[in-house]
Structure 1
């Protein structure tokens, strides 16, 4: 990807910038924020002529039926300041993505490239900085419930308190466990708000008789449940936004952590057994006794509740049956979770829309379980540390173009041993700087078995990757390789320096076993040498798109 312009700013810098956006105004309710942004953008954002990377969000990728993540190089034809969007023309795409030529795109999704057409007079430092301000504001400072109360002065009430909360989280002033809880609450709130907007649209079409019938409509009842949960999250977050209250809560959390550390003799062992006959209990305990003959154990009935209450290094043993991950992601921090019995009968069922298991500790071990992620956008997110899967089965929905089995971020490590992963758009995705080790496993029924970026260390041993709808392994790279290395069988992986490949095979990968794809998203030095890109030409289709503007920007200002 062509290098984009990015920023790393202090709290004081951001506060000064936002005071310039909202200067010379009195009390500023939420409904007036977008108008103030429009005024500011008119003076600081180039109206057209610049190139940017469009980072297409997951929801849009799903709508377009393209993989996630997907990025494209675009040329900005026109900026609509009032709606905070831009009309863009596609310049370059990843070669397996097919998109319409023009799109209306929220400005926050555009990242200007450092390289621009030098024949066009642009102030890219100002444009890139303004977009950074806009993006940060709507992602980190605006909350889903702000639109529900338009009577308060948003700037005076929230601007400085939310900036301080963000930087306290970023700088580690808030304990790790508490910070992860806050992030989980915010992610849940944004996800619920997206659902709420969809349900509101549906419920507006109800007859008054339907409402009077006492929640006869399931969508209306679900809308009420979402509103209740959002109010609960709002109350907790608003308490944490208050710096004095937050400091008291942080001190209390730190004292609890110290007490727990001093009182623990070792990791606790929790037995999760929902219900069953006496003989079932006895059989389960017999298996546990074989593993931990001299260790104290404690029974619990609900996996998710115990996961939220467990301490670091605890061991959680699951019986056969279905164990549910309900409303929000399971945050895993230094845990060992192991199924006792038949792997296929130990079902961890996810009802979460976004991430099923969010791994944030130094280590996580998952062993002998079946993880059903058919409803989730991502099965396992490895943020840091090392995550090990042993004899696990991970199942996707087999239909989505965006859902991922396992996503490994920079600096994190994933080990997969004796596992089966099937039914995802991408079974395993490794970011630059991550490490992935796969051994004695089967990956099948996905668009891509494994997708990785440059400098992702990959070890594949005794593994089968088959029945992928596109490629078994896809490597995104900026490196130059010989033409015969672009598409081929698994043997070509042996010639890639950061990949170890031994005894890897597969069949029925529709487009090939392996593809090495070079980055094609390079900004253009001279846009005017191609009449199709000439910014002075306005086609009739541009005017036609303008008439349908209101139908294309429903997600603007909601991130």
Structure 2
């Protein structure tokens, strides 16, 4: 059966007209508190209530609950649509892998992608698919978590609709610079996380108030107040960023976090690379000894600045600079000027030199690199609650004697993701506690030498036309597979192939030398049919305000 889905590529004006018609009821004001009910009425008029098939792209946190890999896509049949809740009861009719899922599940409508082929040909599937596309776009890109706090006498449509649609298309077309896009995504993500925490806390406090024998927790009430305050701060910042005039001002003055004096001082020193030493404190003797070690890394003549905050050093750095880390836990929200290349060097014990994310302030990855050559040596990278450790978009990332790990193990945690055109070289590096240690997209390249994998669900996930070279590594003791390849070249039909390393003999993308394959829970190698290419190709561009 064909799994082709409907695709809608709409212009700014088309989106604006659609939403104006859906949400404008005559001349009356539509406050934020009424937006959901307006959608419920519209959906009930348009969407087929029962009997149609769709692909369900299971969201990341639901995959975590089911203990399955993200992304996972399954075929479902809709048994009932709940128009008030904007959700559907679905029956799962086909899965790709041997995964355990409930037979039926309540799914938000915006997670469903109706298929073009339906057994019941009288259904209006174009109208249904178009309506779900409208719903998905609206709640992904236009509706913000702080909107619920708007006054009831404020017209949400006239205040927010057009500016937010224009913001989405400006980001998609590259009109908004990357730094501002990153800030917008980070604020939106943080706002959604905070709103989820507020909802949970309010439920806990409500339960405590109902229980007369339980004393109200002042700590929870104080935390709730702080969360509301932060949400209002985010709302204020986003109101500025939604204004195109203010965005232009920020773009012209994006420079860096350095003062004008600092910028002039750097320019006066020429274009050579500089060094930053991040030191969290210690005795004078410790400091002297540490600076001696730093000198062996950067040489005696490089210009060096010291800081007690890694993020400040990264914000002040430029491509090609060197950041040397003393022992301790260093929190960051991004890699600053080293995004386009540079070097991170830790000294001391590997387990005591740790980079981790600031809660809610990071993107989906802790370290995001988009060009040049990046070297990381002697550093532990802890994912925490983030989805992935390193993201290599372009250029080359080299890991030497590093450790990428999580303490809160989950099947959806990814160590390193290598996108098309990027290259990862890892030597003597350990991947620990991850769902998937390394993901290689088509066109990406990975070389591993003397690397270790501990307590990971699977080792390496790759695709057709990617490249993997592994030397002297132990590809053993995975809960599932050491290598999982999504392919259209090496399998025919929906059935996959599971076997030993002998399966790799005629696979041009993979070169294995002096490696051990032992005790892998579901087999050493898995070739599985690639999910519908149409599904991934026909998404709304690559602009994502939340991920």
Q: TM-score, normalised by structure 1?
A: 0.84
1:49 and 1:120 in contact (8 A); partners too: no
Partner of 1:278: 284
Runs (4 or more) in structure 1 with deviation over 4 Å come to 207-210, 254-264, 328-332, 482-485, 519-523
Structure 1: where are the runs of 5+ without partners?
524-557
Partner of 2:121, secondary structure, is coil
**Distance in 2 (alpha carbons) for counterparts of 1:200 and 1:452:** 43
Q: TM-score, normalised by structure 2?
A: 0.86
Specify which of 25, 38, 52 is matched with residue 50 of structure 1: 52
Moved more, 406-415 or 337-346: 406-415
Deviation at 1:447, TM superposition (A): 0.9
Distance 1:411 1:71, change over 3 A: farther
Partner of 2:543: none
**Distance in 1 (alpha carbons) for counterparts of 2:343 and 2:209:** 51
**Distance in 2 (alpha carbons) for counterparts of 1:435 and 1:77:** 44
Partner of 1:186: 188
Deviation at 1:385, TM superposition (A): 4.0
Specify which of 157, 160, 164 is matched with residue 158 of structure 1: 160
Specify which of 482, 487, 511 is matched with residue 522 of structure 2: 511
Distance 1:398 1:240, change over 3 A: closer
Specify which of 384, 388, 391 is matched with residue 378 of structure 1: 388
Specify which of 376, 401, 404 is matched with residue 391 of structure 1: 401
Deviation at 1:54, TM superposition (A): 0.7
Partner of 1:368: 378
Partner of 1:506, secondary structure, is coil
Moved more, 342-351 or 243-252: 342-351
Partner of 2:148: 147
1:11 and 1:167 in contact (8 A); partners too: yes
Partner of 1:14, secondary structure, is helix
Moved more, 243-252 or 104-113: 243-252
**Distance in 2 (alpha carbons) for counterparts of 1:98 and 1:464:** 29
Q: Which fold has the larger relative contact order, with Cα–Cα distance below 8 Å and residues 6 or more apart in sequence? A: 1
**Distance in 2 (alpha carbons) for counterparts of 1:244 and 1:321:** 42
1:398 and 1:425 in contact (8 A); partners too: no
Partner of 2:176: 174
1:93 and 1:520 in contact (8 A); partners too: no
Name the count of aligned residue pairs: 520
Distance 1:458 1:6, change over 3 A: farther
Deviation at 1:209, TM superposition (A): 12
Distance 1:348 1:468, change over 3 A: same
Partner of 2:470: 460
Distance 1:109 1:251, change over 3 A: same
Deviations 1:253-273 (A, max 9, x none): 269999789665233311000
1:73 and 1:522 in contact (8 A); partners too: no
Q: CA RMSD in A?
A: 3.1
Partner of 2:417: 407
State whether structure 2 residue 364 is matched by structure 1 residue 355.
yes
Partner of 1:99: 101
State whether structure 2 residue 258 is matched by structure 1 residue 252.
no
Specify which of 256, 269, 272 is matched with residue 275 of structure 2: 269
1:315 and 1:337 in contact (8 A); partners too: yes
Partner of 1:324: 331
1:375 and 1:397 in contact (8 A); partners too: no
1:4 and 1:113 in contact (8 A); partners too: yes
Deviations 1:144-186 (A, max 9, x none): 1011224221111001111111122221112222222222222
**Distance in 2 (alpha carbons) for counterparts of 1:87 and 1:22:** 26
Deviations 1:126-159 (A, max 9, x none): 2222222111110111111011224221111001
